[in-house]
Amino acid sequence: MGRASDRRRVTRVRAGVATAVRPDTVVGEEPLEIRVGGRALAVTMRTPGDDMDLALGFLLGEGLIGTGADVAAMRYCATPDGATPDGAAPDGAAPDGAAVDEDGRPTYNVLEVTLAAGVPPPALEDARTFYMSSSCGLCGKASIDAVRVRGRYDIADDPLRVAPEQITGLPETLRAAQRLFATTGGLHAAGLAGADGALWAVREDVGRHNAVDKVIGAAARAGRVPLVGQILVVSGRASFELVQKALLAGVPMLAAVSAPSTLAVDLAVESGMTLAGFVRGDTMNLYSGAHRVLCG
């Protein structure tokens, strides 16, 4: 398995003077190829760890599945031809043709997903387009219409009601739960909480969309999708793709430490999601769905 962090030598500079050469902890970043039915669906750069949550959350966030029950199994492939880690030699050497790291160990950067019986396989050309678009930015009303067509959950009437202090306390609670960020300073995070403001799932990743996929995937594996009455909190800005992922998982509220984009606000308004931005200290901006926040 890839490493979530590693050590690299750095030269420390202060006031224009090189003061020390020392090792520093750097967040890991490696590609993960997600396959469905033996065919490549997407490749994403991610921090190794919680890869099955990432794959499951990605499939949900693209509207390709509706719940965790739509996936029958997931396994790592060590080689380009699909051989599993079980094919490794007794001495731990990688199978012939395997992708290996500098120490000759399989990287396991390919994940094979098997859909449950009766779940239609994705149209790979369309799915690849969704992936590229959600990573690089979507545009306009056509994008919102596409999400509406693929969405399975109506969140407009979700009964979630929450006190303002439960929302404004989430970023600090999320930061406190970021174990890898504390040593690298280089990760985004996403968490899920109920109306009481208690985080019950947190995931980190070098990519903010990956962090969201991981935490939604963790919820799906626990059988908690759709995420009725839940709040998704993210450590950065609220972009269109994050609102999209939340909507396709049935999340009624998204709280972001930083700003939303125009298209993120448009999708939140269109879907009936509560979108809070600039959630810092005891303040926040409510861009949509203010009725869910019990202000005085």
- Residues 125 and 170 both lie in one domain: no
Is residue 226 in some structural domain?
A: yes
Same domain, 125 and 168: no
Alpha-carbon dihedral sign for residues 224, 196, 205, 123: positive
Q: Looking at the structure, do residues 203 and 122 belong to the same domain, yes or no? A: no
Q: What is the CA radius of gyration of the chain?
A: 20
pLDDT at 19 (0 to 100) = 85
Assess if residue 14 is contained within a domain. no
Residues 193 and 285 occupy one common structural domain: yes
Residues 242 and 250 sit within 8 Å (Cβ to Cβ) = no
Is the peptide bond between 226 and the residue preceding it cis, with omega within 30 degrees of 0? yes
191 beta partners: 202, 233
CA distance 141 to 134: 15
Please, what are the averages of pLDDT over each run of 10 residues along the chain (296 residues)? 74 83 84 91 91 96 93 81 39 41 68 95 61 42 63 94 96 88 78 96 93 97 97 95 95 97 94 96 96 93
Cβ(254)–Cβ(287) below 8 Å: no
Show the tokens assigned to 176: 């406190």
For residue 252, give the amino acid letter.
P
* Structural domain includes residue 152: no
Last residue of a domain, one of 90, 119, 137: 137
Whether residue 60 is contained in a domain is answered as yes
Count of structural domains, the chain = 2
Residues 237 and 284 in one domain: yes
Q: How many CB atoms lie within 10 A of CB 35?
A: 18
pLDDT confidence of residue 253: 98
Per-residue confidence (pLDDT) for residue 83, from 0 to 100? 45
Domain limits for position 287? 164-292
How far from 29 is each of 26, 53, 70, CA to CA, in Å? 9, 17, 28
Q: Write down the pTM of the prediction.
A: 0.84
CB-based contacts of 12, cutoff 8 Å, min separation 6? 18, 19, 20, 21, 22
d(CA 194, CA 41) in angstroms, rounded, equals 33
pLDDT for position 244: 93
Phi, psi (rounded to 5 degrees) for 80: -60, -25
287 and 211 co-located in one domain: yes
Q: 94: domain CATH number?
A: 3.10.20.10
In a domain, 73, yes or no: yes
250 and 196 together in one domain: yes
Within a domain: residue 153?
A: no
Q: Which residues are known catalytic residues?
A: 136
β strands within 116-214, DSSP E: 188-193, 199-205
Residues 170 and 275 in one domain: yes
- Domain assignment present for residue 149? The answer is no
**Can you read off the two tokens belonging to residue 25?**
């902890």
